[in-house]
Amino acid sequence: MSQEVETMEMAATETPSLHHVGKEVVVSIQGLQKSFGDLHVLKGVDLDVHRGEVVVVLGPSGSGKSTMLRCINRLEEPTGGKIFFEGTEITSKETDINAVRAKLGMVFQSFNLFPHLTAKKNVMLAQQKVLKRSKEEAERIAVEQLTKVGLAERVDYKPSQLSGGQQQRVAIARALAMDPHVMLFDEATSALDPELVRDVLGVMKEMAKNGMTMIVVTHEMGFARDVADRVVFMDGGVIVEQGAPEEVFDHPKSDRTKDFLGHIS
């Protein structure tokens, strides 16, 4: 048993070569722990994400993937460990977390749009409130971002007039309008009908192509294989294995990774 644990730890600490991403570490997670009462969800997670890198996090339900993501912008307060964003320790009580969140875009499984506002006004709101942009500038950027995600003809539609996939693209446009340095995706396509998933993944692929740093929790294996610079497999609150997509998918080192991939392929 100890030999298997040792093999897993070696696999988890191997860092793949990053040919086309920056050397700068943008997000650094060190010994991250998170408990909910007696439930120990994260048990010492270490992960560095580099500028321009797309990291896709896979794992079974309850493995701690979403909790890790929510700890990065302190939607969940870590129980232990440290998280650094662009060199600032965001787990420190002295850190202005709202200033950090302005640079961290996040897209959730649920769209979280204001039902009474049009797509354009949903994208304008945070720009005006948080970034203090003028109405004219916020509107220009909202239309620009909605056009980028393929919704130029839908800017004045309310969420109820949009499909689930279109609503999720509004949520992505809203995050991008804030000029984030890193984008976090928490199961962004899992609430969508299969035919709508492709459109949202297409937007995410385009963002990756344009050099956006992304941490993506997803069950979309095709996206992970095609777009990720690195795939991270989590189980039981720890990183079991990580590597380039072809390494993890085609030559997994851990039995737990093999078992997981065997069930979904």
> Could you read off the pLDDT of 48-87 as tens digits, one per residue?
999 999 999 999 998 999 999 999 999 999 999 999 999 9
- Residue reference for tokens 């086309």: 20
Mean pLDDT lowest among 35-39, 190-194, 211-215, 229-233 = 190-194
Residue 4's pLDDT is what? 39
Q: Is the pLDDT confidence value at 12 over 50? A: no
Q: What is the pLDDT of residues 90-101, one digit of tens each?
A: 999 899 988 898
- Pairwise pLDDT comparison (254 vs 9), residue with the higher score: 254
Residue 111's pLDDT is what? 86
- Residue reference for tokens 């570490």: 25
- Residue reference for tokens 């990756």: 208
Q: Is the pLDDT confidence value at 9 over 80? A: no
Residue 1's pLDDT is what? 41
% of the chain residues with pLDDT over 90: 77
Q: What's the rounded mean pLDDT across residues 139-157?
A: 96
Burial category of 88 from C-beta neighbours within 10 Å (exposed 0-12, middle 13-18, buried 19 and up): middle
Determine contact, residues 141/133, Cβ cutoff 8 Å: yes
- Residue reference for tokens 């992960």: 47
**Beta-strand runs (E) in the chain:** 25-36, 39-50, 54-58, 80-85, 88-89, 104-107, 182-186, 213-217, 230-235, 238-243
Residue 54's pLDDT is what? 95
What band does 263 get if pLDDT is binned at 50, 70 and 90? Answer: confident
Q: Is the pLDDT confidence value at 11 over 60? A: no
Residue 98's pLDDT is what? 87
Angle at 78 between CA 87 and CA 100, to 5 degrees: 40
Q: What's the rounded mean pLDDT across residues 4-11?
A: 40
CA proximity to 46, closest of 57, 59, 25, 30? 30
Determine contact, residues 56/223, Cβ cutoff 8 Å: yes
Mean pLDDT of the chain: 89
The rounded distance, in Å, linking the Cα atoms of 101 and 60 is: 27
Q: What's the rounded mean pLDDT across residues 115-128?
A: 96
Residue 39's pLDDT is what? 93
Q: Is the pLDDT confidence value at 17 over 70? A: no
**Beta-strand runs (E) in 169-227:** 182-186, 213-217
> What 3-state class would DSSP assign to 210?
coil
% of the chain residues with pLDDT over 70: 91
Q: What is the pLDDT of residues 173-195, one digit of tens each?
A: 999 999 999 999 999 998 888 88
Q: What's the rounded mean pLDDT across residues 226-230?
A: 94
**Helical H runs in the chain?**
2-13, 65-72, 97-101, 119-129, 135-148, 164-176, 194-209, 221-227, 245-250, 255-264
CA proximity to 68, closest of 88, 36, 39, 42? 42
Residue 110: CA count within 13 A, CB half-sphere: 4
Q: How many residues are present in the chain? A: 265
Q: What's the rounded mean pLDDT across residues 8-17?
A: 41
Phi/psi of residue 185, nearest 5 degrees: -120, 120
Angle at 174 between CA 124 and CA 119, to 5 degrees: 65
Residue 192's pLDDT is what? 87
Q: Residue 36 has which token pair?
A: 């909910």
